[in-house]
Amino acid sequence: MASDAHIPPEVAAQLGYYVYALRDPRDGRVFYVGKGLGSRIHSHSIEAGANPTSERAKLRTINELTVAGSGPDLLFLRTGIADEETAFIVEQAVIDAFAADGHPLTNLVRGHHSGSHGLASLPATVARLRAEPCPPIPHPVIMLKIQNGWRADMNEAQIYEQTRGHWKIGHEVREQAQYALGVAYGVVRGAYRIESGSWFLSTQPWDQGQNRWGFVGVEAPELAHVVGTHVRDVFPNQVMYRKFLDGYPGASS
């Protein structure tokens, strides 16, 4: 209620950002979820009092309670949230949890970034987040599976080092390949132009007698658009590299 709207400054300071709910005491059902700071939790009752004939579901419910001599139960769901962005995330998760349970709320919007990060089934989420298929590449290219050394936090220099060698690659490929792609878990992680004549035989002790080769390359901005796309159809079983000396035809969807 508006008469209860005062939250002492020392309390507000400790609350920080928070996520809250309005509950109808008549049936015990939450009808609104929001996030706020300071006295935000009381603002809806104040707004309803200023609009006694509003047909907005949230305000109508509050005004019905006021006429009945009560008001909504004001509930903190989480306090002490460090920043507004995190509060948005928590708010959206709570709203989506109610939606997943088939519980309608009076919120006009589902929450911050709900379309890109919110409630969705597993198949819908995979479809939303999966990489796009790699487009055709009209150049002699080799694709090298680097996932044995792959980490999600690798920088560009580390991806290049994983991609450049060392590989069991024949003379024909070393002579013709112009580009190399580093691929981990079916997704292109780096694209490099192979310097002409730069292939070298590995001198690592564990590669002795294995005819493994590495190359010297540079980033290929002309293939930057393929980084992040998928080539899941390229690597069956334990194959570690694939050659496309007439160009790559493009991935299937």
Strand order in the sheet with 17-24: 29-36, 17-24, 73-81
**Going residue by residue through the chain (253 aa), what tens digit of pLDDT does each one get?**
444 557 888 898 999 999 999 999 999 999 999 999 999 999 999 999 898 888 899 999 999 999 999 999 999 999 999 999 999 999 999 999 998 898 989 998 777 777 778 887 777 777 677 889 999 999 999 999 998 888 888 889 999 999 998 999 999 999 999 999 999 888 899 999 999 999 999 999 988 889 999 999 999 999 999 998 999 888 877 789 999 999 999 988 7
Cα–Cα distance measured from residue 181 to residue 107, given in angstroms and rounded to the nearest whole number: 47
Cα–Cα distance measured from residue 19 to residue 17, given in angstroms and rounded to the nearest whole number: 7
Residue 44 and residue 62 in contact, taking contact as beta carbons nearer than 8 Å: yes
Cα–Cα distance measured from residue 192 to residue 198, given in angstroms and rounded to the nearest whole number: 13
> How is residue 230 written in tokens?
């998928």
Residue 104 and residue 143 in contact, taking contact as beta carbons nearer than 8 Å: no
